[in-house]
């Protein structure tokens, strides 16, 4: 049986799950091909295959997949997997959504016996099946440009933030990967040249003791490797001792979804943190000399002009200019099908039509002038994308000052720092292809 597995974008990382699926499908007789279109271009005749599997990792990947598949002849057997599998299969009814590699869903679809020794929790992915790790996101620290790998200690998430796609699929549950699988996977990437590893868990502190155990074992085995992770504000404050320990375990920086300073919006998003908690999280990171990289989603139906002022003031007060990806200051709320935010009564007044082609609902602002501000900020980033991010940030603040009449930049002399970061922001490629550029420049909500 000839099987084709396609990935279109996995946040700048190797699509590890495809190499795991390969092991599930590898029964000794199946012929399996893999293509990651975020890295390589191949002219494929899809209906030469018996089976096509699409990795719908996130929103952008799903849109790119839809554009690629449009008007093409497809094999008889089709399936989709990843966070957006259900959304994708609702648009493409011929695709069967696969929720668990450990179930018999694939066997039932393909009508063949697959690898009986496969375990999603324990089977180590074979990354040699994928494009080289050197083709993906790097860690940038001044003049250094180091190869970065990635791994997860858990899958799923125990939280149910209403704007997040993860709880749509996992419904507030998570599971851990086996220790040996994690350590071996990292070791294999280090042998391929990785000097840094990103933990891709939706929240590294979902299971904090498990996470720290893994990090300690990795430090013992690879003492020169550095790491980054994503941790909720709520968990940074709930586990201050664990957070403090990260610095001793080569955690280079921590990404945290601050989203907004508007407490009303934070409540709708069910973030379980307040605007004041943002200050506490930054102060804890400064005390422990751990760089924190807040991510923002400033624009939602309820955004007020003062929210934008407050975000910049927080950045200025704590001297976080270098930690902000300018595009983050333009991000809009994305509402996919089955999003938990659709259940919030606050959403009813502002929700517009569902657009199948973009896999998301349109919405309107409570304060229409906010739309003009967002568009001006977004246009500025597009027109100045060749400039460094520090300069872009200053330009965005200048626009906000012109709209608000406020002086937002800290008048004190600012000592610009060199801080580590990934070479690729969380939704676009360093060298995107034409399809990705068209998508990114459409000014749609992205995740």
Read off the pLDDT of residues 380-439 as tens digits, 9 standing for 90 and up: 988 998 899 999 999 999 999 999 999 999 888 899 988 888 887 654 322 333 434 454
**How far is 274 from 362, CA to CA, in rounded Å?**
27
* DSSP states along 289-354: T-EEEEEE--BSTT--HHHHHHHHHHHHHTT-GGG--GGGGG-B----TT-GGGG-GGGTTTEEEE
- Superfamily in which the 132-440 domain is placed by CATH: tm_1862 like domain (3.80.30.20)
- The residue whose two tokens read 């001297």 is 319
Residue 240's Cβ-count burial label (10 Å; 0-12, 13-18, 19+) is middle
- Pick the more confident residue, 377 or 429: 377
Q: In the chain, which residues fall in CATH 3.40.50?
A: 2-110
Q: Where exactly does CATH 3.80.30.20 map onto the chain?
A: 132-440
Question: Would you place residue 347 in the very low, low, confident or very high pLDDT band (cuts 50, 70, 90)?
Answer: very high
Mean pLDDT over 76-93 rounds to 93
Look up residue 246 and give its DSSP letter. G
DSSP string, 189-207: HHHTT-SEEEE--S-TTSS
Asked if 13 contacts 136 with a C-beta cutoff of 8 angstroms, the reply is: yes
> Count of alpha carbons within 13 Å of 326, Cβ hemisphere only?
24
Fold of 2-110: Rossmann fold (3.40.50)
Hunting for tokens 């749609």 — which residue is that?
Answer: 444
CA proximity to 374, closest of 388, 384, 364, 359: 364
Angle value at C-alpha 386, between 382 and 391, nearest 5 degrees: 90
pLDDT tens digits along 117-138:
999 999 999 999 999 999 998 9
402-409, long-range: CB < 8 A, 24+ apart = 403/305, 403/373, 403/376, 404/305, 404/308, 404/309, 406/309, 408/309, 408/312, 408/313, 408/316, 409/316
For the chain, what percent of residues have pLDDT higher than 70?
Answer: 94
Q: What is the mean pLDDT of the chain?
A: 91
Dist. CA 49–CA 26, nearest whole Å: 16
Angle between helices 305-317 and 369-383 (to 10 degrees): 50
Q: Residue 168: pLDDT band by 50, 70, 90 thresholds?
A: confident
Residue at token pair 């995107």: 432
pLDDT (tens digit per residue) in 136-150 = 989 988 667 899 999
Using CA atoms, how far apart are residues 296 and 318, in angstroms rounded to an integer? 16
pLDDT number for residue 410 = 85
Burial class (CB in 10 A: 0-12, 13-18, 19+), 160: middle
Angle made by CA atoms 98, 202, 279, in degrees to the nearest 5: 155
* pLDDT score, position 143: 66
Question: Would you state the pLDDT for residue 359?
Answer: 85
């Amino acid at each position: 049986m000839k099987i084709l597995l396609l990935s279109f974008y996995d946040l700048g990382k190797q699509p590890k799950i495809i190499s795991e699926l390969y092991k599930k499908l590898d029964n000794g007789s199946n012929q399996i091909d893999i293509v990651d279109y975020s890295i390589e271009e191949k002219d494929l005749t899809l209906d030469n295959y018996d089976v096509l599997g699409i990795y719908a990792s996130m929103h952008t990947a799903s849109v790119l997949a839809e554009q690629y598949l449009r008007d093409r002849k497809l094999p008889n057997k089709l399936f989709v997997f990843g966070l957006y599998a259900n959304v994708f299969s609702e648009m493409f009814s011929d695709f069967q959504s696969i929720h668990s590699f450990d179930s018999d869903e694939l066997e039932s679809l393909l009508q063949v016996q697959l690898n009986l020794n496969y375990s999603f929790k324990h089977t180590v992915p074979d990354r040699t099946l994928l494009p080289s790790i050197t083709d993906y996101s790097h860690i940038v620290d001044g003049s250094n440009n180091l190869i970065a790998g990635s791994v997860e200690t858990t899958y799923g998430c125990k939280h149910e933030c209403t704007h997040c796609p993860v709880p749509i699929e996992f419904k507030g549950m998570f599971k851990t990967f086996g220790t040996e699988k994690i350590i071996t996977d990292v070791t294999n990437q280090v042998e391929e040249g990785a000097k840094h590893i990103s933990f891709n868990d939706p929240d590294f502190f979902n299971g904090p003791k498990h996470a720290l155990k893994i990090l300690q074992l990795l430090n013992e085995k690879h003492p020169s490797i550095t790491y980054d992770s994503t941790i909720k504000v709520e968990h940074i404050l709930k586990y201050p001792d664990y957070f403090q320990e990260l610095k001793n375990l080569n955690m280079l920086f921590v990404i945290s979804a601050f989203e907004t300073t508007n407490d009303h919006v934070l409540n709708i998003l069910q973030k379980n943190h307040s605007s004041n908690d943002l200050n506490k999280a930054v102060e804890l990171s400064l005390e422990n000399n751990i760089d924190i990289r807040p991510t923002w989603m400033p624009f939602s139906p309820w955004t007020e002009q003062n929210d934008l002022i407050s975000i910049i003031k927080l950045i200025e007060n704590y001297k976080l200019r270098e930690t902000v990806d300018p595009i983050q200051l333009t991000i809009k709320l994305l509402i996919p099908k089955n999003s938990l935010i659709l259940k919030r009564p606050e959403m009813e007044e502002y929700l517009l039509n569902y657009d199948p082609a973009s896999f998301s609902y349109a919405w309107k602002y409570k304060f229409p002038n906010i739309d003009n501000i967002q568009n001006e900020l977004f246009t500025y980033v597009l027109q100045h994308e060749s400039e460094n991010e520090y300069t872009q940030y200053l330009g965005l603040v200048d626009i906000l000052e012109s709209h608000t009449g406020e002086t937002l930049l800290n008048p004190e002399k600012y000592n610009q720092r060199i801080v580590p970061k990934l070479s690729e922001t969380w939704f676009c490629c360093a060298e995107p292809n034409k399809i990705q550029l068209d998508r990114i420049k459409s000014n749609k909500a992205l995740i």
